[in-house]
């Protein structure tokens, strides 16, 4: 029980907000203490994805919904294939909009659902559970690990069954909730922060981010087109009209447009550089510059 929120039901709205805010302020510190483990997990995830593997989140209730949100946000943010980052939630997709909490207790269901994804050595499976004792998630992680996948536990309790089932664990000790047992609060916030770091960190390591710009973007509506235009302007210093021209030339493929603007390469050379660099934008820019330098050197030799 949290001593800071005793008799919460007697407080004014402002007092309630202050108590919750005071407790929420502790979450960032709890996550900060886990940064070495988070960094290790980022490298594991980036390594698996770089080899063509998948990141598969597993969770129930609040944890499963937070995991689903992170997975759903990867394609629009990083233009990844939807199969690259997936989620498994107890109760299936209907659990995203409503409580299907009884399914949390089924180890058989957890094993069955993860088995459908056929986890393998190049995959990484992340089990998310505040308590670290959810049978569904523990069983899924144990199955995935036995199948050879890399496994990571994200919990708020040390020495948990989930932590022992996984190869590695990230434990954010946020302390008791303002509303006792309501892990959608501080625990949920901590999980959201950790999963943000895991996916964003891995995608950055893979080169889908240039500087701090979300360059791996393929705009499919006006809002995203404006975002891509602004990204090209910030990355290259070009004008708005030039950025729009290159997005039109590349049919909205922002990384190709960026490579062309940064190196002077034509579309085919930029596409080749990006493919050679396995979609790592910075490496592709370096590759395009090297290729152009080699071509120029060869031309000078021929002209002598």
Strand partners, 213: 210
What CA–CA distance (Å, rounded) separates 47 from 67?
20
Burial of 292 per CB tally in 10 Å (0-12, 13-18, 19+)? middle
What CA–CA distance (Å, rounded) separates 102 from 274?
47
CA quadruple 187, 189, 195, 197: dihedral, nearest 10: -120
What CA–CA distance (Å, rounded) separates 286 from 259?
9
Extract the tokens encoding 182.
């309501």
Catalytic residue among 23, 104, 169, 271: 104
User: With contact defined as beta carbons under 8 Å apart, do 124 and 53 qualify?
Assistant: yes
Q: Active-site residue 104, yes or no?
A: yes
What CA–CA distance (Å, rounded) separates 231 from 208?
13
What CA–CA distance (Å, rounded) separates 88 from 73?
15
Catalytic residues: 73, 104
């Amino acid at each position: 029980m949290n001593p800071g929120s005793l008799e919460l039901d007697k407080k004014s709205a402002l007092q309630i907000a202050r108590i919750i805010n005071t407790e929420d302020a502790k979450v960032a510190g709890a996550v900060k203490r886990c940064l070495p483990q988070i960094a290790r997990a980022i490298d594991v995830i980036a390594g698996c994805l770089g080899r063509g593997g998948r990141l598969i989140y597993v969770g129930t209730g609040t944890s499963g919904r937070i995991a689903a949100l992170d997975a759903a946000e990867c394609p629009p943010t990083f233009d990844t294939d939807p199969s690259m980052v997936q989620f498994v939630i107890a109760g299936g997709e209907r659990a995203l909009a409503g409580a299907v909490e009884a399914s949390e207790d089924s180890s058989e269901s957890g094993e069955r659902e993860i088995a459908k994804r056929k986890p393998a050595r190049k995959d990484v499976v992340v089990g998310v559970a505040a308590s670290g004792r959810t049978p569904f998630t523990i069983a899924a992680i144990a199955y995935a690990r036995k199948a050879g996948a890399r496994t990571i536990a994200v919990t708020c309790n040390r020495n948990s069954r989930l932590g022992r089932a996984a190869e590695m664990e990230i434990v954010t000790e946020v302390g008791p909730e303002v509303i006792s047992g309501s892990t959608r609060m501080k625990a949920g916030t901590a999980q959201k922060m950790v999963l943000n770091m895991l996916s964003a960190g891995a995608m950055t390591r893979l080169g889908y981010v240039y500087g701090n710009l979300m360059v791996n973007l393929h705009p499919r509506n006006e809002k995203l087109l404006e975002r891509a235009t602004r990204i090209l302007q910030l990355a290259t210093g070009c004008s708005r009209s030039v950025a729009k021209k290159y997005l039109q030339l590349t049919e909205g493929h922002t990384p190709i447009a960026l490579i062309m603007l940064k190196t002077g390469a034509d579309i085919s050379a930029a596409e080749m550089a990006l493919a050679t660099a396995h979609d790592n934008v910075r490496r592709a820019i370096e590759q395009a510059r090297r290729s152009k330098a080699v071509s120029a050197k060869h031309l000078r030799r021929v002209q002598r």
